Structure 1
Amino acid sequence: MYDLTAFQRDILYVIAGRDEPHGLAIKDELEGYYENEINHGRLYPNLDDVVDKGLVEKGEADKRTNYYTITARGQRELEARRECEAQYVGELLSNSE
């Protein structure tokens, strides 16, 4: 996951936390987190990147709407990232006590 941007990692977290979200649902979640509008020119190329890396699968709900699911590899990458974060955040929290 070292080659992902923070935005791409956030996309993975959103997809992993939802049941086959479509692009606009992912966009809405990210806008809530970033408190800014996410334009289509930013979202969809980044979705394509995580699909191309094998972290997400894209399916077709209908002719106009795609949905996204996390792959097993994407899930493993997220778990590894969370373990890394827990290591550093855990140290930070234990040092502040």
Structure 2
Amino acid sequence: MLSAAITFAFICIAAALLLNFWRLLRGPSTPDRILALDTMYINTIALLVLFGIHLDLTAFFEAALLIAMMGFVGTVALCKYLLRGDIIE
């Protein structure tokens, strides 16, 4: 039963990742593209956690944590650049 739930979650999150990629390519404005990129890294984290649960390996959880930290820093930097035009003051 757990393997069926994990497979269903893989399919749903992969579909969400593809839709986010579509929004990243076709976004009408820059904030839409930043939001799509932010949501893509969150979906990637979810896929890594599911894959770690499926294989029963903890290395995927550490990789998900690293992606979460880098994604947060990247989103903050992009938003700051969008608002002020400069990242480092």
TM-score by length of 1: 0.34
- Could you say which structure has the larger radius of gyration? 2
- Higher relative contact order, structure no. (Cα contacts within 8 Å, ≥ 6 residues apart): 1
TM-score by length of 2: 0.36
From the two aligned structures, give the one with the greater helix fraction. 2
